Amino acid sequence: MADRHLHPANGNSAPSQFGGAAPFFVGLVVALILGWWAFPQMLFSQKHQPVRFSHKVHMEGAGMECKSCHFLREDGSYAGLPTTESCAECHSEPMGEDPEEARFIEEYVNTGKEVEWLVYQKQPDNVFFSHAAHSVDSCNNCHEFTETELCSQCHPNVAETDEAPVYYENKLTKYSKQTMKMWRCERCHANPEHFGTTRSSNACYVCHK
Measured from the Cβ of residue 46, the count of other Cβ atoms closer than 10 Å reads 10
Rounded (to 5) percent helix, strand, coil in the chain: 40, 10, 55
Rounded least distance, CB 176 to other proteins, Å? 12
Query: Can you count the helices (H) and strands (E) in the chain?
Result: 11, 4
Please give the residue ranges that form the binding site for other proteins (CB under 8 A): 9-10, 13, 20-32, 34-36, 39-40, 43, 72-77, 79-80, 124-126, 128, 130, 132-133, 135, 170, 172-175, 199, 201, 203-206, 208-209
Please, which residue, 86 or 157, has the CB nearer to other proteins? 86
Rounded least distance, CB 154 to other proteins, Å? 17
Please, which residue, 34 or 90, has the CB nearer to other proteins? 34
Rounded least distance, CB 125 to other proteins, Å? 4
Q: Which long-range contacts (CB under 8 A, 24 or more apart) does 82-89 make?
A: 83/114, 84/108, 84/109, 84/112, 84/113, 84/114, 84/115, 85/112
CB of 170 within 8 A of CB of 43? yes
Rounded least distance, CB 68 to other proteins, Å? 16
Host H or E run for residue 120? none
Rounded least distance, CB 208 to other proteins, Å? 5
Please, which residue, 79 or 95, has the CB nearer to other proteins? 79
Please, which residue, 15 or 63, has the CB nearer to other proteins? 15
Please, which residue, 13 or 148, has the CB nearer to other proteins? 13
CB of 169 within 8 A of CB of 119? no
